[in-house]
Amino acid sequence: MSEQHVYGFHAVEAILQHEPERILDVWVSSNRDDKRLDAIVESLTRQGIKQQKAKREKLDELAGSTRHQGIVANCRMAPTRNENFLNQLIDSLDEPAFLLILDGVTDPHNLGACLRTADAAGVHAVIAPKDNAATLNATVRKVASGAAETTPFVSVTNLARCLKNLKERGIWLIGAAGEVDTNIYQQDLTGPLAIVMGAEGKGLRRLTRETCDHLATIPMPGNVESLNVSVATGVCLYEALRQRSVNNV
């Protein structure tokens, strides 16, 4: 598939700001009076991007969702980012690498939420396996609220090989696991780092666990046994951000 529908204010605005050349055409609600939508339409018009009015039912059909906020853009697919891109990105950094690795997250809503949090925390790239994992579809882009356009998403054929390559480049792998004694707050997260999160319900795969330098848990003194992967990702990333911020003061 060479084209993709992207919907929602944040997602369309992000593509318009960062990669307007990808936008082929746009459908806009014919009966919605909204200042935010009007501002996007003005930006589209200034850049010469064609638009057409559509009823809500048509927008629902195009988006495959009712949560399009009155705008759907037909876009060229973004180029796939692979390990070559990742290596070039790491080489270009003038600060310690800060990466998020998702070991088989399959729910698009979780992937979108993880991307949004990764962007907010200053993560340089999000890495995931190419197979048996969620991809950057329209739902992910909507939930990510623009982060899918600003935070590089790297899809790798062999995650275990990618992890070993990162270790060879001096990046420490800290995996999230519920059954270990050491918690995330006891880890040193200040240097070149990749936080590794497991799949919904399954956690880290065996080979991924064995490749990590350290495993850490999130303290849970309450009654629930686990956190949603996107929530757990937020806890780990922001502890890393806290430590890195303190370290740079």
Tokens of 32: 């919605």
Look at the block and give the residue holding tokens 């992207």. Answer: 6
Read off the pLDDT of residues 90-101 as tens digits, 9 standing for 90 and up: 999 999 999 999
pLDDT tens for the chain, 249 residues long, are 588 899 999 999 999 998 899 999 999 998 877 888 999 999 999 999 989 999 999 999 999 888 899 999 999 988 889 999 999 999 999 999 999 999 999 999 999 999 999 999 999 999 999 999 999 998 999 999 989 999 999 999 999 999 999 999 999 999 999 888 899 999 999 999 999 999 988 899 999 999 999 999 999 988 888 899 999 999 999 999 999 998 665
Read off the pLDDT of residues 196-239 as tens digits, 9 standing for 90 and up: 999 988 899 999 999 999 999 999 988 888 899 999 999 999 99
Give every CB contact of residue 239 below 8 A, 6+ residues apart in sequence. Answer: 184, 185, 189
Cα→Cα distances 184→12, 96, 134, 163, 177, Å: 36, 19, 26, 20, 10
Beta bridge partners of 35: none
Could you tell me how far CA 58 lies from the centroid of its own chain? 28
HSE-CB for 244 with a 13 A CA cutoff: 18
Domains and CATH numbers, the chain: 3-76 (3.30.1330.30), 83-247 (3.40.1280.10)
- Report yes or no on whether pTM surpasses 0.75: yes
